[in-house]
Structure 1
Amino acid sequence: MTERVRVTGPPRHTAAGRGASRLGDVHEQTALGDVYLRSLLREQLGLAIAVLAALALTLGLLPLAFHLWPELGGVSVGGVPLAWLLLGVVVYPFLLLLGWRYVRSVERNERDFADLVEGPE
């Protein structure tokens, strides 16, 4: 009797066990192709949630910090209030960095997925 194995996701970063191209499974929407796609979507969703959490924990907590410590509202840096400096100037490079990192990570996930379903060269 053969042992039953439950497949919950595609194998990751292993050269052994790669057979022919799995691209057909994805295009033909087989059960195995569905597992591959769900795995990719789960990775992309996890990445999006992580980026949103980072955004909420940094920018979302700034107003709370100014509410909890009202003396921060009176602090000025170079004649510019700290709140304006943080929310009007520092935010944009942070958002650009966060977006750049997100896009690079998404592209890496998609490249790994493509390498996985195309099989060995």
Structure 2
Amino acid sequence: MAEEQQEAGRREVVTGVARGARRRAPAHTPARSEISEQTSVGATYVRALMRSQLRAALCALGALALLVGVLPLVFLLPRVASGALVWVVLGVLVYPVMWFIARWYVTRAERNEADFTGLVTDPAEAPGSRGAGA
């Protein structure tokens, strides 16, 4: 009878692989290792980032050159050539436009870098994401 109670009270313990021992993704994603090993694919990734940053910089520079380059032509017009208006345009109105151009450039550059980072990082490492088991 004691044996029957032991068998009836006995439970099976099912164990699995410990969480820390599960197979994890490699420390470097393939894109990141391509870049760190300086392969042709990695160089293509970096070149694409540099190209997009250069495109943003040239657009900002072009907008700034257009803004500042057109002003002397506008001041050649007889009606606009009054001294007070020239000083207001040069001293006050140009700076907010330059600020918007600079702000656009910084936002675009940060977006380019975020896109590049998203390309080379593992989705499991992304901020705010958690693994399936957590």
TM-score bin (small chain): 0.7 to 0.9
Structure 2 counterpart of 1:60? 69
Who wins on radius of gyration, i.e. which is larger? 2
Structure 2 distance, partners of 1:34, 1:119, is 19
Q: What TM-score comes out, normalization by structure 2 length? A: 0.66
Q: 1:115 aligns with which of 110, 118, 123?
A: 118
Structure 2 distance, partners of 1:24, 1:112, is 17
Structure 2 distance, partners of 1:119, 1:64, is 53
Structure 1 counterpart of 2:108? 105
Structure 2 counterpart of 1:40? 49
Query: How far off its partner does 1:65 sit?
Result: 1.4
Structure 1 distance, partners of 2:33, 2:85, is 56
Amino acid aligned to 1:65: V
CA RMSD of aligned residues (A): 1.4
Report SS of the residue matched to 1:60.
helix
Query: How far off its partner does 1:70 sit?
Result: 2.6
Q: What TM-score comes out, normalization by structure 1 length? A: 0.73
Higher relative contact order (CA 8 A, sep 6+): 1
Runs in 1 of length 4+ with deviation above 6 angstroms? none
Structure 2 unmatched runs, 5+: 1-28, 125-134
Structure 2 counterpart of 1:17? none
Structure 2 distance, partners of 1:32, 1:102, is 27
Q: 1:70 aligns with which of 62, 78, 84?
A: 78
Structure 2 distance, partners of 1:119, 1:66, is 55
